[in-house]
Amino acid sequence: MAKGQLYEYVVIHHPKAKKDVAGNEEPVKSKIITDVTRVLAATPEEVSILAGRSIPEEYLDKLEQVEIKVRPF
């Protein structure tokens, strides 16, 4: 069995900019949808899979606006 390494990941939603009545784009703040989580995993790819599974169902139709950040600890 491979020795696990400690990683942290966070999932962030970057919503598309909204337009006001005049047609100007209004900036929309990004939101953390899965708080910083520590896991033991063999590879960063394994962590990405775990992070993907943690995405709430309400964001599954907006995956192009979702970012997963992974870092070794």
pLDDT single digits (tens) 23-43: 788 888 999 999 999 999 999
What 3-state class would DSSP assign to 19? strand
- What amino acid is encoded at 39 in this protein? V
The domain spans of the chain are: 5-72
pLDDT tier at 1, thresholds 50, 70, 90: low
What is the model's pTM?
0.82
Within a 10 A sphere around the Cβ of 16, how many other Cβ atoms? Answer: 10
Residue/partner pairs of 42-47 with CB below 8 Å, 24 or more apart: 42/2, 42/3, 42/4, 42/5, 44/7, 44/70, 44/72, 47/7, 47/9
HSE at residue 59, side-chain half, CA atoms within 13 A, is 20
